[in-house]
């Protein structure tokens, strides 16, 4: 069974602005997917539907066979699907380590266990330990993105949804983040879906889908 499936997904902002016209697609673990298309084509809208931040007007988004419309969507994002944003969306008043711990606090994980897991996740994404007590404004963009990815790995979420994760990074940091996302897909059997305009992401993704005229086409 695919981890995520879209069945005839339709969405519009108004009768004149139809964004998705019946999208059908399946997504598997162990794969890095790139979603590409022109600005305004519906890439971020589609990602929001996958994340349960919105629901389709018709059709279904299914996670492991269950429609997201039948789920507690807050719990879905806390335990099943993680969203990683271009601007990192870190809490400025929390340290890097506390940002990683935050989803575990929401799920009532014991504080000591949350700290141990956060430290392990920081190592997994190659964050130096000396940075973990710093606030987001005191670390680089590449380091902030690694914190955001580590936070997305909490609660062993298998679905990672990334909106332009390399958009604010230089080429070296961008390559490092792509390496990490590929490793998470291939070595840890996660499903990683990336909305991107970055040609290097498209070139290295396992599967590339283009949104064109409200439909999803495999390149």
84-112 pLDDT, tens digit per residue, is 988 899 999 999 999 999 999 999 999 99
State percent of the chain over pLDDT 70: 100
pLDDT at position 59 is: 97
Number of C-beta neighbours around residue 128 at 10 A: 11
* Position 115 confidence tier, pLDDT thresholds 50, 70, 90: very high
pLDDT at position 39 is: 84
pTM for the structure as a whole: 0.92
152-180 pLDDT, tens digit per residue, is 999 989 999 999 888 888 888 889 889 99
Residues near 175 by Cβ (< 8 Å), separated by ≥ 6? 200
CA atoms within 13 A on the CB side of 166: 22
As a whole number, the mean pLDDT across the chain is 93
| Residue in 76, 72, 80, 129 with CA at minimum distance from that of residue 100 | 129
């Amino acid at each position: 069974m695919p981890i995520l499936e879209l069945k005839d997904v339709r969405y519009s902002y108004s009768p004149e602005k139809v964004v998705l016209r019946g999208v059908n697609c399946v997504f598997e673990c162990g794969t890095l997917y790139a979603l590409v298309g022109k600005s305004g084509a519906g890439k971020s809208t589609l990602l929001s539907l996958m994340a349960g931040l919105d629901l389709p007007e018709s059709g279904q988004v299914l996670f492991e066979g269950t429609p997201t419309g039948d789920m507690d969507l807050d719990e879905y994002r806390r335990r099943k699907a993680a969203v990683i944003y271009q601007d990192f969306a870190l809490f400025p008043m929390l340290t890097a380590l506390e940002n990683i711990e935050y989803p575990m606090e929401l799920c009532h994980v014991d504080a000591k266990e949350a700290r141990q897991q956060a430290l392990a996740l920081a190592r997994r994404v190659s964050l130096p330990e000396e940075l973990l007590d710093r606030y987001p404004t005191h670390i680089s963009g590449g380091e902030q993105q690694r914190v955001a990815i580590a936070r997305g790995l909490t609660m062993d979420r298998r679905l990672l949804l990334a909106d332009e994760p390399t958009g604010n990074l230089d080429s070296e940091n961008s390559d490092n983040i792509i390496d990490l996302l590929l490793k998470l897909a291939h070595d840890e059997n996660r499903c990683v879906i990336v909305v991107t305009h970055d040609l290097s992401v498209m070139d290295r993704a396992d599967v590339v889908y283009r949104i064109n005229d409200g439909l999803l086409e495999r390149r």
